[in-house]
């Protein structure tokens, strides 16, 4: 069975990855962990409307409770620290086979370079498969 980690930060734009986790567990048998990391040193501003309404942990817990089914197994963890270090530590301690991480928004050359370097460092220190997930809207980019 796959042991999957979905790593999110505290930006509102990463909230959609929790929906992705719930959809995964309904289609494919796997253990999914969602790790929310609050990294004060590397907050990425994603633009207007990227602040959480309410506490991020409570919103994710509520979403996971609503999406729970007998077939799904999702664990939720919240921590503070360096995003990269926390993800690597979690992968190694929990024998994660696949990491899902969201493509940062908005797409800018500097952000893309930093993100690719992060993926490279995680990949070089772990044996897990890394999947980058991009948020897509059926209504086009203007409707986000």
CATH number of 2-138: 3.40.50.620
Instruction: Dump pLDDT digits (tens) for 1-38.
Output: 689 999 988 776 677 787 777 777 777 778 889 898 98
d(CA 105, CA 132) in angstroms, rounded, equals 13
pLDDT at 141: 52
Inter-residue contact 76 to 34 (CB < 8 Å): yes
**58 has a pLDDT exceeding 50:** yes
Which stretches of 39-121 are assigned E, i.e. beta strand? 74-80, 98-102
pLDDT at 144: 43
pTM for the structure as a whole: 0.77
pLDDT at 129: 95
DSSP H or E segment with residue 2: strand 2-8
d(CA 68, CA 74) in angstroms, rounded, equals 8
> Per-domain residue ranges for the chain?
2-138
Instruction: Dump pLDDT digits (tens) for 81-110.
Output: 999 999 999 999 999 999 999 887 666 667
């Amino acid at each position: 069975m796959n042991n999957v980690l979905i790593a999110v930060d505290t930006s509102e734009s990463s909230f959609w990855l929790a929906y992705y986790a719930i959809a995964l567990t309904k289609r494919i048998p796997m253990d999914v962990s969602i790790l929310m990391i609050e990294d004060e040193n590397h907050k990425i501003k994603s633009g207007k409307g990227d602040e959480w309404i309410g506490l991020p942990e409570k919103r994710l817990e509520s979403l996971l409770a609503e999406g729970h089914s007998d077939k799904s197994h999702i664990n939720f963890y919240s921590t503070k620290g360096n995003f990269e270090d926390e993800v690597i530590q979690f992968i190694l301690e929990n024998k994660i086979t696949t990491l899902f991480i969201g493509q940062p928004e908005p797409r800018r050359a500097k952000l893309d370079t930093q993100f690719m370097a992060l993926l490279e460092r995680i990949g070089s220190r772990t044996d897990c498969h890394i999947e980058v997930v991009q948020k897509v809207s059926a209504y086009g980019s203007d409707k986000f």
